[in-house]
A and B are shown apart, each in its own frame.
Chain A
């Protein structure tokens, strides 16, 4: 499984692997927001946690369709399906690779972009924590969407339509955690709920994804 992880990481980090696109997209979204809502820093400060969460979420979405599609095209997905590791494990490892190359950079970049959005001082830590807890869920949920659409030629838009509603609970608790942190309030139930969702998704989503891949490989 480590071998698979290393392989996916290498592929993503290579030229043409799409690494950094997510970050660039995140930056672009954050840049566009003030043009859309006006440069008033009090307004920006108020919406900063939510916008940063939304930007990270959308950036995560971008790299999802290459999660399985490239392997399917060159036949390696069939090989992986028949490998000694269970397919669920393959999905989990690929999700981890996705998170390391997409989610984690977003988590690290978010505080930096928070400066652009006038994020209040206490918010930086909570934003980073909420994204760190939430982005793994985004990766595994996204992997499920990717597994459904892996057989489709231009499944990108459908992938978004399927995945974005599934992202809502994670977004709600993640953004709420970030917002409460930014306002200096007690995080309350948001923290355990976010962590709970992430853990549950990490544990259960690979099974659904593997089932979908098996169907698509038939």
Chain B
């Protein structure tokens, strides 16, 4: 495991990632095309949901990655706070907009999927509401990075925010469940992931999930490279100003 920390060295990271990004990105594209294509064109309609079941190939992977992106940011923030590897902090920063986008995709596809069943574009379904809250956490995190000038201070504060935010995000998940149950509504229709996974949908779904995972990894690696360059640029400008 000690060799893993070599990648924390910015120069090494840039070397490895420049080779890795095209391959992972290509694999992502392949999986997305196969998974989504298979799902869209070749899977049957569902008995109850009709063709809207095809939205599953977008909604489930996006939702999974929206959460995983935040978890990755959490781990990266911890690594920064404990081991002070700049690449880690920058990776967290790079991941946030991707995670936020995935959250929006999850929200939009979730709402569109639910509309025929609910009769309205939005209900405060516990799962969707939790994703809306997650989106707000992403926005706050991104905004804090943008607001603070000194990069190391920004890295520290956003890491603390990520930690505290993670606890509250979890807490909110249960609060929202409590909140919607307690409203004595009729059957709260939630888009239960497990509901429809019969074999015929399972494999294309897995491939789509793999596609989204690889997409996330390759894009975050790419964006981290940009962040490393940006940090270098800022440092060079600052040094020149002092000279």
A residues adjacent to B (C-beta < 8 A) = 144, 148-149, 151-152, 155, 158, 161-162, 164-166, 168-169, 172-173, 176, 180, 188-190, 193, 197, 205, 208, 211-212, 215-216, 218
Q: If the complex has contacts A158-B143, A215-B160, are A151 and B148 also in contact, measured as CB distance less than 8 A?
A: yes
Q: Are A168 and B178 in contact (CB under 8 A)?
A: no
Q: Are B143 and A161 in contact (CB under 8 A)?
A: yes
Within 8 Å CB of A212, what residues of B?
A: 157, 160
Nearest B residue to A153, CB-CB: B147
Category for how many chain B residues contact A: 20 to 34
Nearest B residue to A189, CB-CB: B178
Instruction: Determine the distance from Cα of A210 to Cα of B117 in the docked complex, in whole angstroms.
Output: 48
Q: Of A166, A168, A189, A216, which is within 8 A of B164 by CB?
A: A166
Q: Are B182 and A176 in contact (CB under 8 A)?
A: yes
Q: Are B144 and A162 in contact (CB under 8 A)?
A: yes
Chain B, 148-205, CB within 8 A of any chain A CB: 148, 153, 156-157, 160-161, 163-165, 168, 171-172, 174-176, 178-179, 182
Q: Are B139 and A169 in contact (CB under 8 A)?
A: no
Within 8 Å CB of B156, what residues of A?
A: 215
Q: 6 tightest A-B contacts by CB? A: A169-B175, A172-B175, A165-B136, A215-B156, A162-B140, A169-B171
Task: Indicate if B55 sits at the interface (CB-CB under 8 A).
Answer: no
Instruction: Determine the distance from Cα of A155 to Cα of B157 in the docked complex, in whole angstroms.
Output: 14
Q: Are A215 and B157 in contact (CB under 8 A)?
A: yes
Shortest distance from the beta carbon of A162 to any chain B beta carbon, whole Å:
5
Q: Of B140, B164, B182, which is within 8 A of A161 by CB?
A: B140
Q: Are A168 and B140 in contact (CB under 8 A)?
A: no
Within 8 Å CB of A161, what residues of B?
A: 136, 139-140, 143
Q: If the complex has contacts A165-B136, A172-B179, are A148 and B168 also in contact, measured as CB distance less than 8 A?
A: no
Q: Are B168 and A169 in contact (CB under 8 A)?
A: yes
Nearest B residue to A161, CB-CB: B140
Grouping DSSP codes into helix (H, G, I), strand (E, B) and loop, the B interface class, with mixed when no group exceeds half, is helix
Q: Are B161 and A148 in contact (CB under 8 A)?
A: yes
Task: Indicate if B133 sits at the interface (CB-CB under 8 A).
Answer: yes
Q: Are A158 and B147 in contact (CB under 8 A)?
A: yes
Mask: chain B, 118-143; 1 = CB below 8 Å from A; 0 = not: 00000000000000010011011001
Instruction: Determine the distance from Cα of A144 to Cα of B182 in the docked complex, in whole angstroms.
Output: 30
Q: Are B164 and A155 in contact (CB under 8 A)?
A: no
Chain B, 93-139, CB within 8 A of any chain A CB: 133, 136-137, 139
Within 8 Å CB of B175, what residues of A?
A: 168-169, 172-173
Given A158-B140, A161-B143, A215-B160, 10 more contacts at CB 8 Å? A158-B144, A158-B147, A166-B164, A168-B133, A176-B182, A180-B182, A188-B182, A193-B178, A208-B160, A218-B153
Instruction: Determine the distance from Cα of A169 to Cα of B164 in the docked complex, in whole angstroms.
Output: 13
Q: Are B182 and A211 in contact (CB under 8 A)?
A: no
Q: Are B160 and A165 in contact (CB under 8 A)?
A: no
10 A/B residue pairs, CB under 8 Å, sorted by A:
A158-B140, A165-B136, A165-B165, A168-B168, A168-B175, A169-B175, A172-B175, A208-B160, A212-B160, A216-B157
Q: Are B143 and A148 in contact (CB under 8 A)?
A: no
Q: Are B161 and A215 in contact (CB under 8 A)?
A: no
Shortest distance from the beta carbon of A215 to any chain B beta carbon, whole Å:
4
Within 8 Å CB of A216, what residues of B?
A: 153, 157
Q: Are A165 and B168 in contact (CB under 8 A)?
A: yes
Instruction: Determine the distance from Cα of A184 to Cα of B12 in the docked complex, in whole angstroms.
Output: 65
Within 8 Å CB of A173, what residues of B?
A: 175, 178
Nearest B residue to A171, CB-CB: B175
Task: With a 10 A CB-CB cut-off, give which of B139, B144, B156, B171 has the most chain A CB atoms.
Answer: B171
